[in-house]
Structure 1
Amino acid sequence: MTDTILAIIGGTGLTSLKGLEISRREVMHTPYGEPSGPLTHGILAGREVVFLARHGYSHTIPPHQVNYRANVWALKHAGVSAVVAVAAVGGITAEMRPRRLVFPNQIIDYTWSRAHTFFNKDLTHVVHVDFTEPYDADLRRKLIEAARTIKIDAVEQGTYGATQGPRLETAAEIDRLERDGCDLVGMTGMPEAVLARELELPYATCAVVANWAAGRGEGVITMDEVRENLDAAMANVRRVLEATIKAL
């Protein structure tokens, strides 16, 4: 991954990137509509990066209304060569406790009605992309090695269950997800990952456990709890991102 320009997609809790020396903001117009906001170009850890807040810079776009196609298309056409997606998730299995970072290696898609492919019209032939391993192995390894180097207590694999949102899941739904093999639950993992694959953009996720999933903790899930856990974990996210950038 020589001369890689890394794109960072920030999720809930990461609407700006501390330490980024901003050089310019780029407004992109795409064949699929408007992205979540301008692309922020800058320098982080001595390397060029591009940052985009998935839910908008004011965090106003819910998961089911994110224009995933426009976001991924814009990053590709801005010249980035790899994408790290930061995502807040709920922890299902025991080791996925709040505030831990997780680098999932698999995903199960439970979303519906989202524009989920670039290959749906004006085709000269039917296109199928391999999605056996949904996250780029090399980029995942860079994230894992970065976390090890700086001694972050991260989980190095897991299955992400992508749900529709914006509501949180029921306890019975979380039980079903666990039976299906999911370790984490979130609302933005798909179709973002497969759209990146369709455009041949290496893509990996740095998930941040914001809370126990429904029925796994005590009482109801509150947004105060989510915000508190994300605020505590984001310093580690930034450290991992910086260490990963240095290794590219």
Structure 2
Amino acid sequence: MRVGIIAGTDIYDIPGIQLEAKTVETSYGPALLHVGQGEAENLVFLMRHGPRHTVPPHHINYRANLKAMHKLGVRAIVAAYAVGSIHRALPPLSVAVLDDFLDFTSDRPRSFYEGGASGLAHTIMSPPYCPTLRERLLACAPSCGLTPAPHATYVCTNGPRFETPGEIRMFRQLGGDVVGMTGAQEATLARELGIHFAGVAFSVNWAAGIEETINIVQDGIADLRSRLLSLFLKTLSELDGFSCHCEDAVLFTHYPRDEDGHDRN
């Protein structure tokens, strides 16, 4: 089974694994992926902000990235998210296996099904993350030196600016636990493609207004990053099937019809 890892801030390689850059052309534009070599040939790695972290969250080509991974045969993805903590129970350097999200982004493509030639469909996002992958992440975490929170709601904002204290108060009242700028589109697009997807958040700061100033944690991040990658590799290597409905979550798919009334897909 071909599997994938998506990462952003603070994660730009996978120690111990040789990766080869591969540009994959899609109908949404090119995507730069890194494919494992040798015994890791079933692994595809994506740096969502690019190798030099030059692509801001609101300019990431999410559809090209996910479509390219799907095109290479990726069936399961684990994604890492550097976040700010809204909930006091998740201080900086905490880890959480996400189980829900709130999407407050705007002006971003959210779907492969935009009507017209691309068709129209409605996708089940309950639960938003693959239950099988979440279960395996939580089971593998202790052996990687991690004790992640088993539940957390990710609030996705546009960026690249940080949120205001008032926005964070609103997000907290709505049930948000952590805040980031990239997670909602990746989870949604993966589900539309039938890819099993899970997200793991690691906190690097308190969200705006929780403390007097926003201080990005530096000490301990390198060790945390190493543990997260170990967790991802262990989880993906031990997958032996899925007991979920991620692959059949797209409903009511309609495509334009030709003159004879046949779908054009």
Aligned residue in 2 for 1:192: 186
The answer on whether the counterparts of 2:113 and 2:119 sit within 8 Å (CA) in structure 1 is no
Q: Does 2:3 align with 1:15? A: no
Counterpart among 163, 170, 173 of residue 167 in structure 2 = 173
Deviations 1:23-78 (A, max 9, x none): x322111111122xx21111598672110100000000011110000000000001
Structure 2 counterpart SS, 1:56: coil
Alignment partners' CA distance in 1, 2:126 and 2:68: 25
Alignment partners' CA distance in 2, 1:94 and 1:196: 30
The answer on whether the counterparts of 2:145 and 2:227 sit within 8 Å (CA) in structure 1 is no
Shift in Å, 1:135: 0.3
Q: Percent same amino acid at aligned positions?
A: 35
Alignment partners' CA distance in 1, 2:54 and 2:8: 11
Counterpart among 227, 237, 241 of residue 246 in structure 1 = 237
Deviates more, 1:50-59 or 1:229-238: 229-238
Counting only pairs closer than 5 Å after superposition, residues 7-46 of structure 1 correspond to structure 2 as: 7-22=4-19, 24-35=20-31, 38-42=32-36
Deviations 1:177-213 (A, max 9, x none): 0000001101001211101111111100011111111
Structure 1 residues 16 and 68 mapped into 2: Cα distance closer, same or farther (>3 Å)?
same
Shift in Å, 1:172: 1.2
The answer on whether the counterparts of 2:78 and 2:199 sit within 8 Å (CA) in structure 1 is yes
What RMSD in Å do the two structures reach over aligned CA positions?
1.9
Aligned residue in 2 for 1:106: 100
Alignment partners' CA distance in 2, 1:176 and 1:211: 18
- Deviating 4+ runs (over 2 angstroms): 43-48, 121-126, 148-151, 225-232
Counting only pairs closer than 5 Å after superposition, residues 117-156 of structure 1 correspond to structure 2 as: 117-123=111-117, 126-156=120-150
Alignment partners' CA distance in 2, 1:175 and 1:90: 13
Deviates more, 1:166-175 or 1:124-133: 124-133
| Rg comparison, structure with higher value | 2
Q: Match for 1:14: what amino acid? A: I
Aligned residue in 1 for 2:225: 234
Deviates more, 1:194-203 or 1:40-49: 40-49
Return the TM-score normalized by structure 1: 0.90
Q: Match for 2:65: what amino acid? A: N
Deviates more, 1:48-57 or 1:124-133: 124-133
Structure 2 counterpart SS, 1:127: strand
Which 5+ residue runs of structure 2 have no aligned equivalent? 240-265
Alignment partners' CA distance in 2, 1:101 and 1:133: 20
Counterpart among 84, 92, 97 of residue 78 in structure 2 = 84
